[in-house]
Structure 1
Amino acid sequence: MAVSIRLDPSIEQRLDRLAAQTGRAKSYYLRELIERGLDDLEDFYLADATMEQVRKGLEKVLDASQVRKNLGLDH
């Protein structure tokens, strides 16, 4: 899939410098950034969406004692 993005000139210069110094294509580093950063973005934004559901009362929440009981840890 081809994607087009605009980069801040300073970011583009850093990317150009990195690619030139390492002999790798800029696309290699952009792919790396996306692959490595996507996990963090998913964690953040999906957690944020879940918290919004909690605030609205639309997501079930258990307290620690309920979790221990459900896992059979209360002995």
Structure 2
Amino acid sequence: MLAIRLPEAIELRLEALAKATGRTKTYYVREAIVEHIDDLEDLYLAEQELIKVRAGRSKTTSLADVMKQYDLAD
């Protein structure tokens, strides 16, 4: 179970969409989450990794080194 608070304008749009299509507000909220969860995970996990790199707690590897390591370099 999940309860969320939405800005009034979004709530009104969601309600209008649900009424116009005969679907529930829950349906559209679920669809929005499913559609965007991968992008949100990528964004927030990348931001966390960037913080670690900047703090010196994680290292980076150049593309050239990865290509060389896996014998993919020209």
Query: Residue in 2 aligned with 1:31?
Result: 30
Query: Residue in 2 aligned with 1:57?
Result: 56
Give the alignment's TM-score, normalised by structure 1. Answer: 0.89
Cα distance, 1:25 vs. partner? 0.5
Cα distance, 1:68 vs. partner? 1.8
Q: Structure 1 vs Structure 2: percent identity of aligned residues? A: 45
Give the alignment's TM-score, normalised by structure 2. Answer: 0.90
Per-residue deviation, residues 21-74 of structure 1 (Å, max 9, x unmatched): 111001000111111111111010000001111111111211232112111123
What is the rounded CA distance, in whole Å, between the counterparts of 2:11 and 2:40 in structure 1? Answer: 21
